Every structure is written in structure tokens, then in C-alpha cells.
Structure 1
Amino acid sequence: MKPLVVFAVLAPLVLPDAALAQMRPQPRQQPSSQGAAPSAEITERLVLTPPAGWQIQGNSVGQVTITRQMFPPGQTSETWTEMMSVQVIADSKAAARDFIQGIIETSRTNCEASGPSPVTEGLTNGYPVSTLTVTCTKGRKSGHGGLVAVKAIRGKAALYVIQRVWRGPAFGRNEPAPIPDSMLHEWSGFLRGVSVCDPAQPAHPCPNGTP
């Protein structure tokens, strides 16, 4: 079985020898005061199984956002044709639908023609989820065609956003993105397996084997 990657809010990424990648939860630091109660541990986490051989090659940490970028074997942040972005946004007001709407607006600005699918909304493991795909016929600056599939999960502690992205030759407005069916099938299965869980909350159980 492939290793799980477990992301929890606002903590560093660890890659132990057992190939289990985790972002351990760390409560935000509060101003010290005598007799103040310690901050509660954040137990909510994002769980996903990355494709075999993919490696983290890009990291970004902001005040409330952690972003990790992963690439297939033999590809880099400069040469990639396929990549994955994982974001943990520790903002209680960040909505999944609003984030996805931002992707639609960005594609319309940056692409000669963009083709967003209808936004799908529902629940996964008791958490609100929004999903979307967007095609880009040709980037105005890059000249590349593109396709992105997005899954945004609104957890209690954070908004979790996973994007699978392809870039390649430009294509026509009325043409499909030139992506193999096998890649789209793999993307679909991968995104279905992405979830948020909380071992402290029976309403949001974690998969067996999740640390």
C-alpha cells in the first residue's frame, strides 16, 4: 500500500525513513499570562496518498498558509508537465466555494480562453467540499495550454486545497485538452481519496493506519 501523507495545521513537514510524510499540529502561540490555560492541540488533518515516486520540490509558508508542491519522477519546478499543489489555509473565514471562484477568475484573466466546469459541492467525511476543473487553451504569458482539477475541503481548523495541474501545448477553444485518458482516470481516483479527518471527533473518523 502506498504511504499516506498527513497534513495538519501550521506545522513543519517531516519525511521520516518509513516514507510517511506528516505535518504535525501545533497550536498557535498565545500571549503569556499567569494562570492562562494552554492552547488546545489541533488534531484535524488532511490525508492523501501521493502518486508513486512523486517528490516535494516547492515549499511556501505564510502567516496562515502552508503550500507544498509535488512533481513526478524526472520533473522539476522548471520543467514540469504535471504537478500537484497542496495548501493548508488556517483561516476560519476562508470558504471552499470562494477559493474555487478565485481560480475561475484567475483563469479568465490569464488565459486566451478558459473553460471552467460546473462547481460540484457536497460532503466528504462530514466536511463541506467543492470541486472544479478548468481548461486553459493558451496562457497569455506562458503560451502553454493547461488543465487544473481542484478539490477544496472546508475543515473546522482550516481550508484544505488540492490541485492537480497539467501544462502542455496550446489547443483550440473548441478542442479538449490533449491529456491521455489514463491521466484523467488517475486524477479522478486520487482526488476521490483525498479527505480531512479528526481522530478526536467521531463524526470525522480517520482511515485505519493514520497516525
Structure 2
Amino acid sequence: MNLRIRFYITLLVLLKAMAIAQPALSQSDRNDTNGEQLLFILPEGWKEEFKDRTESLSTTEYIPEGQTETDWEEMLTIQILLNKPSTDPVKMMSGITKYLSQDCRAFDYRPIDIGGIDNNYPSMAILALCGQKKEGDSGYVSLLRGISGKKNFFLLQKTWKTKLFDTQKKSPINLEQRKFWLGYLSYLRICNNEQGDCPKNLKLD
């Protein structure tokens, strides 16, 4: 099972599990998601490769120019779990790492301190290390950042495909690359015109 399919299943399972604890939403709430959005800047030299939206999940994937959907080395993924108001980012990220670990023979993760509140929205980041996937002879390194919005939960992920490696030793992705992309993910913001915290003259898609 490839990484994309596995991760989608993870999020759908989490959505189903957390629905029990979430208050019911009115029809107008379910339809109104345009007020809250991610202030996103596509890195230079990257392109959109995949986009999908269901009633509960919006996913967009980006890869460097010259790479393809089936043959990529780096990927940037933006996922929005729709109609998940004020979700606890610690519980959500804990659940995500738990399910990611089930796809790896060797797995580790490390919380990253980037500040718990960003523009009044709770946020959490982790570094996920998969030294060997259960299927195939590769691993991956991922930086993930979750942001809890008033209406939706935003998950930002930067992933590198790697050869097999020991998760308890030096990461195959050097510190400078990880620092650069952590800075990029930390820079991204969400805002809501209804809350009055979006930049002026911002046009919503």
C-alpha cells in the first residue's frame, strides 16, 4: 500500500473516531468552510501534482518540477480536515503518528517546539522517521505541522523518500534542509475573515 493511500486511510479513521467527541454541526456550518483558509505560498520550483476533495477531507500535493506523481523524491502535502472545529492538536498528532507507525518496521517520532499558539490558533509540529516501510525497501522522513482552526483542522506535511536507515542514528536528511522546511511550515498561517484576522484585500477562492 503506497504512502498516500495509507495516510488517507489514517485520516479517515481519525475523523470517524473523533466524530464521537465532536458536537453536531448544523447544515450551514458544514457548507461554510470558505471563511477559514490557509495563507499558502508555493515554493519556487514546485508544482501542484494532485488534488482531491471529499465531504470531510481536502488534499493537495506538490512536488518539485522534474519529478512525477509516481516517481518523486520530495513531496509537500496540504490537507484540511473539514468541519473539525477547535480540535486538540496534541491528540490529533498523537493519533496520526500512531497510525503512521503501523506502516513501518522501524519508526520513531519527535515533537518539535515551534510555539503552541499561532495567531490564536493552537499548533503542534513533529518529525516522523520511518527507517523501513513494511512494503518495499525504502523509508521516509516527514515534518508535520497541525493547526487547529475554529472550523477545520489543517495538516501540513513535508516528506522526503529515503533509503533504509536507523531511526536511532543520524537522519538521512541533513539539519539545514530540515531547518529550512520547518521554517517554511512554521511561516504558513491560517486566517478567517469572520474573525478579522486575515490580511486586508485578501481574495478567497
Q: Does the alignment reach a TM-score above 0.5?
A: yes
Deviation track 1:117-160 (CA, whole Å, cap 9, x = no partner) reads 03656111111112111111111103212111111111111111
Q: CA deviation at 1:79?
A: 1.0
Match of 1:111 in 2: 104
Match of 2:93 in 1: 100
Tell me, what secondary structure is at the counterpart of 1:112?
strand
Match of 2:171 in 1: 177
User: Among the aligned pairs, what percent are the same residue?
Assistant: 24
Match of 1:89 in 2: 81
Moved more, 77-86 or 111-120: 111-120
For the aligned residue pairs, the C-alpha RMSD in angstroms reads 2.3
CA distance in 2, matches of 1:195, 1:71: 21
Please point out which of 186, 189, 207 is paired with 2:183.
189
Q: CA deviation at 1:164?
A: 0.6
Higher-RCO chain (CA-CA 8 Å, sequence separation at least 6) = 2
AA partner of residue 125 (structure 2): T
AA partner of residue 69 (structure 1): E
CA distance in 1, matches of 2:201, 2:161: 34
Deviation track 1:70-104 (CA, whole Å, cap 9, x = no partner) reads 10111112111110110111123544223311221
1:155 correspondence with 2:149: yes
Q: CA deviation at 1:175?
A: 1.9
What residue ranges of structure 2 are gaps of 5+ in the alignment? 1-25
Match of 2:129 in 1: 135
Q: 1:40 and 1:161, CA in 2 relative to 1: closer, same or farther beyond 3 A? A: closer
Larger helix fraction of residues: 2
1:144 correspondence with 2:154: no
Tell me the TM-score normalised to structure 1 length.
0.73
Greater Rg over alpha carbons, structure: 1
Tell me, what secondary structure is at the counterpart of 1:117?
strand
CA distance in 2, matches of 1:195, 1:157: 14
1:51 correspondence with 2:43: yes
- Whether the aligned pair in 1 keeps the contact of 2:33 and 2:83 (CA below 8 Å) is no
